[in-house]
């Protein structure tokens, strides 16, 4: 009966999607090239895997309306990380451990096992004693249609972990065994718990992989753990850590003791709208990561999720990024090279010397485009400069990206961007031993992603600007700004 109930719930959701997708895709704020669901609400990426020659993207999904609720797993595949094909919903609430209108099939991961595609997810329910979270298994012969394991749940919270603070399993295989890291909380401090299995069904606690003493919050959501170069990386989205939305830690790990000791920490993204990224290795051996481009209502800068719910949808993913290790063991997050296939005709200017205090320099008009700049620091005397993006004709609405080279500081100001969004994200700038200051920006209808300092200092924020806000400018208040190169491309629309 359980299998039939899940299929019934999937079929019901699919009927709703088919009836409403053509209306939703006409929404004025729909993205041009960022991944979105066909209808309804989307949050965390789940189950990212390169499986049988295709990229599989699962995602937290409420197909019925543009708010979080009653979590399903949506599913899409791609051959190039740019063009996506929607597949049937993979998981729907149906069991005693996941069938609740404020619960469902929460986040998790995917792995190939025994010739099948396995999903490990958190079931969330309420049976009268508050919300309870447990780890569960589903599997598929064809990579499209999934069946939940009859022995679910395979893991319940330890006695010293609150039952509603045990979620988001990330699974991998090493030396013939399966390992899984799971987010948890103990004594109001965050933990990443490590489990081990011989067969994917029977799991034993191994160790506390890492934990916070309060400096990294009270709960780590969507932990991701992976090797990179000669180091290991723990990537978490902390709750209760101020404005931090995604933190990484780099260090050493022992499979004998199960302990991870980090020596470097940093921000994967300093913006307001980058959360719960999940990584995987693709067929080219790259460590790729995809994150949710939004935030939660418990964050200090939260206003709401934006106005797209009026169009029957909410949520999209940031552009896919490749994770690379710097010589000093910090990380950089580079947009994948496949995004270049979106480029239209290039506009390029080289060796520009911009005198400060004059009128702002117009850049090419556009609301879905890519911009790259290289600043020659040796020939620059300006202390600060700004990019005014997505401006209207009157310059009353705009998003302002400011680089203070003298004080080593960057800000992303969206207070005047759309009449809806609020806040100024900010970060330090390293500017260490560099002659060239690099900037790379992806702009879409409802988002701006800024990559700076060779992709080590990044800000991603949603800006729900009107389509008429297509003017862009460079502003230099004083001094001289030497631009070694400036390139812009309009980007093609591939999502609907």
Cβ-based neighbour number of residue 350 at 10 Å: 10
Rounded to two decimals, what is the model's pTM? 0.97
Q: Which pairs from 14-17 meet CB under 8 Å and 24+ separation?
A: 14/88, 14/89, 16/63, 16/64, 17/63
Whether 98 and 105 have beta carbons less than 8 Å apart is answered as yes
- Among the listed residues 420, 431, 423, the one whose alpha carbon sits nearest the alpha carbon of residue 469: 420
Q: Which residues, other chains included, contact 137 with Cβ-Cβ below 8 Å and sequence gap of 6+?
A: 118, 119, 120, 148, 149, 151, 152, 154, 200, 201
| In the chain, ranges of CATH 2.60.120.560 domains | 343-490
Query: Could you tell me the pLDDT band of residue 358, with boundaries at 50, 70 and 90?
Result: confident
Q: Using CA atoms, how far apart are residues 341 and 326, in angstroms rounded to an integer?
A: 27
CATH number (3.90.1200.10, 2.40.50.140, 2.60.120.560, 3.40.190.10) of 343-490 reads 2.60.120.560
CA distance 440 to 442: 7
* Better-scored residue on pLDDT, 56 or 358: 56
| pLDDT band (50, 70, 90) for residue 214 | confident
What local confidence, expressed as pLDDT, does residue 249 receive?
Answer: 98
CA distance 205 to 159: 12
Per the CB < 8 A criterion, the answer to whether 442 and 335 are in contact is yes
How far apart CA 461 and CA 91 sit, in angstroms, is 30
Per-residue pLDDT tens over the stretch 1-57: 478 999 999 999 999 999 999 999 999 999 999 999 999 999 999 999 999 999 999
Task: Tell me which residue of 75, 80, 88 sits closest to 16, measured CA to CA.
Answer: 88
Please state which of the ranges 126-130, 145-149, 380-384, 487-491 shows the lowest mean pLDDT: 126-130
Q: Within 13 A of 326's CA, how many CA atoms are on the CB side?
A: 15
**Percent of the chain having pLDDT more than 90?**
95
pLDDT tens, residue by residue, 85-108 = 999 999 999 999 999 989 999 999
CATH of 2-335, one of 3.30.930.10, 2.115.10.20, 1.10.645.10, 3.40.50.300: 2.115.10.20
Sign of the CA dihedral 239, 240, 246, 250? negative
Please, what is the average pLDDT of the chain? Answer: 96
Could you report the per-residue pLDDT of 481-496, keeping only the tens digit for each? 999 999 999 999 999 8
Q: What are the pLDDT digits (tens) for 405-456?
A: 999 999 999 999 999 999 999 999 998 778 999 999 999 999 999 999 999 9
Closest CA to 431 of 402, 406, 458, 459: 406
SS3 state of residue 130: coil
Nearest alpha-carbon partner for 399 in 272, 210, 225: 272
DSSP structure string for 324-368:
EE-TTS-EEEEEPGGGGGGB-S-EEEEEEEEETTSPPEEE---SS
- Rounded Cα distance, 420 and 303, in Å: 9
| pLDDT tens-digit series, residues 281-338 | 999 999 999 999 999 999 998 888 999 999 999 999 999 999 999 999 999 999 999 9
Long-range contact pairs involving 111-114 (C-beta distance under 8 Å, separation at least 24): 111/49, 111/171, 111/172, 111/173, 111/178, 111/200, 112/49, 112/51, 113/139, 113/173, 113/178, 113/200, 114/200
Parallel, antiparallel, or unpaired for β 436-444 and 447-452?
A: antiparallel
> 147-202 pLDDT, tens per residue?
999 999 999 999 999 999 999 999 999 999 999 999 999 999 999 999 999 999 99
Q: Which of 18, 22, 44, 359 is catalytic?
A: 44
The pLDDT value given to residue 379:
97
Contact 198, 180 (CB under 8 A): no
Q: Is 99 a catalytic residue?
A: no
Q: What is the mean pLDDT of residues 257-281?
A: 97
Residue 303's pLDDT is: 86
What's the token pair of residue 311? 């169009």
List beta partners, residue 440.
372, 451
Q: What is the pLDDT of residue 1?
A: 47
Cβ distance 257 to 207 under 8 Å?
yes
């Amino acid at each position: 009966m359980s299998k039939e109930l899940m299929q019934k719930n999937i079929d019901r959701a699919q009927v709703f999607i088919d009836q409403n997708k053509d209306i939703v895709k006409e929404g004025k704020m729909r993205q041009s090239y960022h991944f979105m669901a066909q209808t309804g609400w989307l949050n965390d990426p789940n189950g990212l895997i390169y499986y049988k020659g295709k990229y599989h993207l699962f995602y937290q999904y409420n197909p019925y309306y543009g708010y979080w609720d009653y979590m399903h797993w949506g599913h899409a595949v791609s051959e190039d990380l740019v063009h996506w094909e929607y597949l049937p919903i993979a998981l729907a609430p149906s069991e005693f451990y996941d069938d609740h209108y404020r619960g469902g099939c929460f986040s998790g991961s995917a792995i190939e096992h025994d010739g099948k595609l396995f999903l490990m997810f958190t079931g969330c329910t309420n049976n009268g004693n508050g919300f309870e979270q447990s780890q569960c298994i589903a599997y598929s012969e064809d990579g499209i249609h999934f069946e939940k394991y009859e022995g679910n749940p395979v893991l319940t919270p330890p006695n010293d972990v609150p039952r509603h603070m045990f979620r988001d399993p990330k699974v991998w295989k090493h030396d013939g065994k399966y390992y899984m890291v799971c987010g948890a909380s103990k004594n109001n401090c965050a933990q990443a718990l490590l489990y081990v299995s011989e067969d994917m069904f029977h799991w034993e606690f191994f160790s506390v992989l890492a934990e916070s003493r309060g400096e990294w919050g009270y709960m780590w959501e969507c932990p991701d753990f992976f090797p990179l170069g000669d180091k290991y990386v723990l990537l978490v989205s902390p709750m209760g850590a101020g404005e931090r939305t995604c933190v990484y830690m780099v260090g050493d790990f022992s499979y004998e003791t199960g302990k991870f000791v980090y020596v470097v920490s940093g921000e994967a993204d300093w913006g307001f709208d980058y959360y719960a990224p999940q990584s995987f290795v693709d067929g080219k051996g790259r460590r790729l990561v995809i994150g949710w481009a939004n935030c939660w209502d418990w964050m200090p800068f939260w206003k709401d999720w934006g106005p797209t719910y009026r169009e029957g949808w909410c949520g999209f993913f940031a552009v896919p990024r490749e994770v690379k290790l710097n010589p000093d063991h910090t990380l950089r997050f580079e947009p994948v090279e496949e995004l270049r296939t979106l480029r239209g005709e290039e506009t390029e200017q080289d060796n520009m010397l911009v005198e400060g205090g004059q009128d702002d320099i117009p850049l090419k008009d556009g609301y879905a485009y890519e911009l790259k700049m290289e600043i020659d620091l040796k020939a620059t005397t300006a202390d600060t400069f700004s990019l005014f993006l997505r401006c209207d004709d009157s310059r009353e609405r705009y998003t302002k990206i400011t680089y203070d080279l003298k004080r080593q500081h960057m800000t992303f100001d969206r207070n005047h961007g759309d009449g809806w969004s609020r806040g100024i994200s900010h970060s330090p700038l390293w500017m260490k031993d560099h002659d060239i200051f690099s900037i790379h920006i992806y702009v879409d209808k409802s988002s701006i992603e800024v990559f700076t300092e060779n992709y080590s200092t990044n800000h991603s924020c949603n800006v729900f600007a009107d389509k008429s806000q297509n003017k862009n400018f460079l502003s230099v208040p004083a001094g001289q700004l030497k631009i070694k190169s400036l390139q812009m491309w309009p980007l093609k629309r591939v999502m609907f």
